[in-house]
Structure 1
Amino acid sequence: MTGSGTKSAVEWLVSVAPDPEACRWEWERNPLGVALLPAGRLWDVLILPGDLGYPTLDVLTRCIDRPGPVLADFGDARMGFFVPAGTVARWIGTGIRGAGRGTWIVVPYPGRASGAARWLIPPDGSGTLTDPALLELAMHEAAAGLAREGMEPG
């Protein structure tokens, strides 16, 4: 991601910060390439274990052209799917953590490598998010595939 795509993605992400200009300034100069951003304003993040998250992402990308942004942490132990704000408060599935209102997440600068997290699907700046109902269906399909293979998601 380069040029105006990165700029619009950065603008969209920092728009949730208490002081977007200061956040962008610090983020662009942070040697780690990460920012701490509040969830629950424009988006929530549903956090899946990596062994379920990757097959879920595979199912999603077969169903739709472009899901919302998706993060992976260092070591691929967890994946974060960006969903509409308020989703975490209504989520009743077990085994899935969420970051919603009152929580903060570590977000890498779009287009830059970071040791803490990386974008599997970077934001495009348009505000595209993954539909939680579609994400849930993709998770069920992924879990069924894992069960057929004899692997339990963790």
Structure 2
Amino acid sequence: MTGAKTAVDWLVSVAPDPGACRWEWERNPLGIALLPAGKAWDVLILPGELGGPTLDVLTRVLDRPGPVLVDFDGNRVGFFVPPGTAARWLGTGIRTAGAGTWIVVPYPGRESRGVRWLVPPDGSGLLTDPALLELVMHEAAAGLAGKKGR
């Protein structure tokens, strides 16, 4: 469980009080924490119909992308990207979480309600490159358009 502990350390490092955040998170029956975006990461939130195919393409290009969240309905998929990305992102239909926003994050390695990790953090700080993510989104969208055209 060293990897999960390292991932937790990395995630709580952005909290105003990391120790208190960890203590509450480990005892939270829902297995979730509210963490500020914009410090160690931003999150680009894609509609589920695009997010799933984007992750499929991304994992064909990279051995390991940065962390990726999904809500349990699959309606939204969140890709962790470098801080500052949200302020510069212009993609239509893509929501962003950056400085001044907070996100619901499940405890790594534990089941939670509402959100889950598709790609859990490994604690290394690995994030998805936003330029690559944009290219992959275009490829995924083109694939979806091709399927709808058939």
- TM bucket by the smaller chain? over 0.9
CA distance in 1, matches of 2:54, 2:91: 15
CA distance in 1, matches of 2:79, 2:66: 7
Give the C-alpha shift of residue 74 in structure 1. 2.0
| Residue 39, structure 1, aligned to residue 32, structure 2 | no
Match of 2:135 in 1: 137
Match of 2:60 in 1: 62
| Residue 23, structure 1, aligned to residue 21, structure 2 | yes
Amino acid at match of 2:96: G
Amino acid at match of 1:130: T
CA distance in 2, matches of 1:79, 1:92: 17
Q: Gaps spanning 5+ residues in structure 2: where? A: none
CA RMSD, aligned part only? 0.7
SS of the aligned residue for 1:71 comes to: strand
Match of 2:71 in 1: 73
Give the C-alpha shift of residue 92 in structure 1. 1.2
Amino acid at match of 2:22: R
| Residue 49, structure 1, aligned to residue 20, structure 2 | no
Match of 1:82 in 2: 80
Question: 1:79-125 CA deviation, whole Å, 9 max, x = no partner?
Answer: 00000000000011111000000000000000001111000000000
CA distance in 2, matches of 1:93, 1:70: 18
Runs of 4+ with deviation above 4 angstroms: none
SS of the aligned residue for 2:7 comes to: helix
Amino acid at match of 1:95: G
SS of the aligned residue for 1:98 comes to: strand
CA distance in 2, matches of 1:144, 1:36: 34
Give the C-alpha shift of residue 72 in structure 1. 0.3
CA distance in 2, matches of 1:12, 1:90: 24
Instruction: Number of aligned residue pairs: give it.
Output: 149
CA distance in 1, matches of 2:21, 2:92: 34
SS of the aligned residue for 2:3 comes to: helix
Match of 1:111 in 2: 109
TM-score by length of 1: 0.96
